[in-house]
Amino acid sequence: MKTTGGVPMSGLPFFLFLCLFSFFTASASTKQGQVYIVYLGEDAAAKSKGAILDDHHALLLSVKGSEEEARASLLYSYKHSLNGFAALLSDDEATKLSERTEVVSTFRSDGRWSPHTTRSWEFVGLEEGLSKGWLPSGAHTGENVIVGMLDSGIWPESRSFSDEGLGPVPPRWKGACQGGDSFNSSSCNRKVIGARYYLKAYEAHHGRLNATNAYRSPRDHDGHGTHTASTVAGRTVPGVAALGGFAAGTASGGAPLARLAIYKVCWPIPGPNPNIENTCFDADMLAAMDDAVGNGVDVMSVSIGSSGKPPRLPDDGIAVGALHAARRGVVVVCSGGNSGPAPATVSNLAPWILTVGASSIDRSFNSPITLGNGMVIMGQTVTPYQLPPNRTYPMVYAAQAVVPGTPANVTNQCLPNSLSPQKVRGKIVVCLRGSGLRVGKGREVKRAGGAAIVLGNPPLYGSEVPVDAHVLPGTAVSMADVNTILKYINSSANPTAYLERSRTVVDVKPSPVMAQFSSRGPNVLEPSILKPDVTAPGLNILAAWSEASSPTKLDGDNRVVKYNIISGTSMSCPHVSATAVLLKSAHPDWSAAAIRSAIMTTATANNAEGGPIMNADGTVAGPMDYGSGHIRPRHALDPGLVYDASFQDYLLYACASGGAQLDRSFPCPATPPRPHELNYPSVAIHGLNGSTTVRRTVTNVGEHGAHYSVAVVEPMGFSVKVSPTSLAFARAGEKKTFTIKIAATEKRSRRPKRKYLAGSYTWSDGVHAVRSPVVVLVA
């Protein structure tokens, strides 16, 4: 799942280059072995770090020919929060180790992971019914909470990372500020209190890092890591804007007083344009997560996800690291991916991870398009370039202006070298989103001599309009609007248009709207756990940026910016991470599960106007799109009740879901509880035959003497009975258990033709509303 991606170039020579590049890279990796992770379960707490390292060497010696070879093959020894190691192994050696009784799993460390790539916080306040200000008052602003950022590094000189006015570094911090290229100990301060980088697995696969494309240090060359870090905990910085002055105002992270610990784990993919995309390897990420727990972080923000089919839990580096972090009270928040709106595309599926979808905020960047017939279409853009005034320009559809030999299915895509200069020179070119980079399409129009680009949505993307700082004048329009433009072009002998200057507009309605790119449920590993968990702002988000990276990341784009606007679940994830920081500050004794529960049960399924949250294609959104709903941080601080879960609960869940034994000291029982019996803040039932009963336990974290009653919204065609219907709590910390019986009330043939049906139940005491979605998957 990627924030950007697609086809960087076109044509047979490039395809042959990729094939040859992949062959030689694979050949180099095969000669020295592959990087495998050998996972041994929970850390051996009774042993010293040296003794654990000796155990790892002994295991390697059992499959290697000598002590020297065993030690040379070891890349990482995980020993802070979990027990395991990463090493260069042949397939046979890995198989032999996997057969040993003390080994939980042995899996290859693949580069299948990649980053999922401000008004947004003001909008979060509006979602809570607050006319101004959204940060809680008093001490609950996260000053001594430490956030670990797994990403592409940081640009420490950004004003968003100033330590002015901050107190001393929390004494419990045990991390380091690792030096390297253009980065030394003075690059850290009381805001960025630690920074490290991890690339052993990356270099084992790709060879030594090319220092022209990335810093061999925690410094961010890409921009993604700087953006996410400032979204979580950037300081309040007035007078900030994107290139061209767009989104001008005061920038702030969600927890501006929190401390940042940077763990750089993502690196450029070697190839013709390495700046476009990063890759992240299991072994490097697991080493960072293990160190982060040992260093003392409270929250981990991980805007990274797998490409393709999600790995099994025992073979998932992020899931394994997050499990052991959660046991130690660390909240792990992950992006859900950018492969929507197709169903069953969400990633980071473990129930001990808080998984985040992406939605819009109430801001747009309006750019009127005046057609030759007088009609005005409203586009959106943040490109600083403008067409010369007082004249119109010829307009052409890309499909009618391609060079011979362009594949018929991509003639409207403006892919590299596809446009004919004779047909587009001096014209406004209409291209469609789909294959290739959005900004790459603008570059192609410029290469062919076009005057400007209008980028239209295909039906898949509906009204969702991500904005870009194109390399020429341009704007983007919705599916309906591009269809209107194309009808005009096809009906006019000489179609013309003019692009007006763009301006920033706020209070756009309705909002939020679910982004079409946001990955959807159901959970392909275990449909009985609803994913994503929540949604948060992820469309057109302004935040700090690396000054080594242009706003488009394209070769030849030499513009330097301090702040940039980008989109993705990578951007929504740090909004939820910041919310977790605020809860950790207010409730330091709460478990990671309790904090996740508070965020989920206080989320809303309504937009800021009180109507249902919609998808960008105009349909009503539901739990498979947004999980429990859109986050409301202030509400989450006082949830009333929480659904807690223990490390043992998670081990039992793994036993039931795929039979995975995640810890050798905890054998799976013959009949573990069913996956949907995990004490989760949402309920999902898969394969219901007749009826089923689910048990849940809530803990009172509110006032003494609280009395709650339940209200149920039943999924169409099913009954939902909660028993008992009221809960009385004599004291804070008291637990109460209840059951939820779900039964079909209509035959399958008479139910609505949907893949899932949704309802909810809500516990309320007149002050708190503790809401849980109920989803029945019928297909």
Which residue among 43, 110, 151, 625 is the active-site one?
151
Give the containing element (helix H, strand E) for 327: helix 317-327
Which residue among 109, 570, 585, 772 is the active-site one?
570
| Burial bucket for residue 733 (CB in 10 Å: 0-12, 13-18, 19+) | exposed
Q: What is the 3-state secondary structure (H, E, C) of 287-310?
A: HHHHHHHHHCCCEEEECEEECCCC
CA distance 507 to 366: 13
CA distance 746 to 198: 55
CA distance 659 to 756: 26
Can 56 be counted among the known catalytic residues?
A: no
Which residue among 224, 630, 635, 676 is the active-site one?
224
CA distance 598 to 643: 8
Task: Write the CA distances from 659 to 7, 174, 524, integer angstroms.
Answer: 39, 37, 15
| 535 contacts 626 by C-beta, under 8 angstroms | yes
C-alpha torsion sign, points 138, 140, 146, 148? negative
CA distance 517 to 42: 36
* Complete edge-to-edge strand list for the sheet that includes strand 756-764: 683-686, 769-777, 756-764, 706-713, 726-729
DSSP 537-586: E-SSEEEE--TTS-SS--TT-----SEEEE-SHHHHHHHHHHHHHHHHHH
Find the radius of gyration of the CA atoms of the chain: 26
Candidates 707, 703, 713; CA nearest to 765 is: 707
CA distance 126 to 105: 46
Task: Please report, in angstroms and rounded to a whole number, the separation of the first and last CA atoms in the chain.
Answer: 25
Can 224 be counted among the known catalytic residues?
A: yes
Phi, psi of 700 (to 5 degrees): -75, 120
Can 116 be counted among the known catalytic residues?
A: no
C-alpha torsion sign, points 344, 345, 349, 351? negative
CB atoms within 10 A of CB 67: 12
Active-site annotation, residues: 151, 224, 570
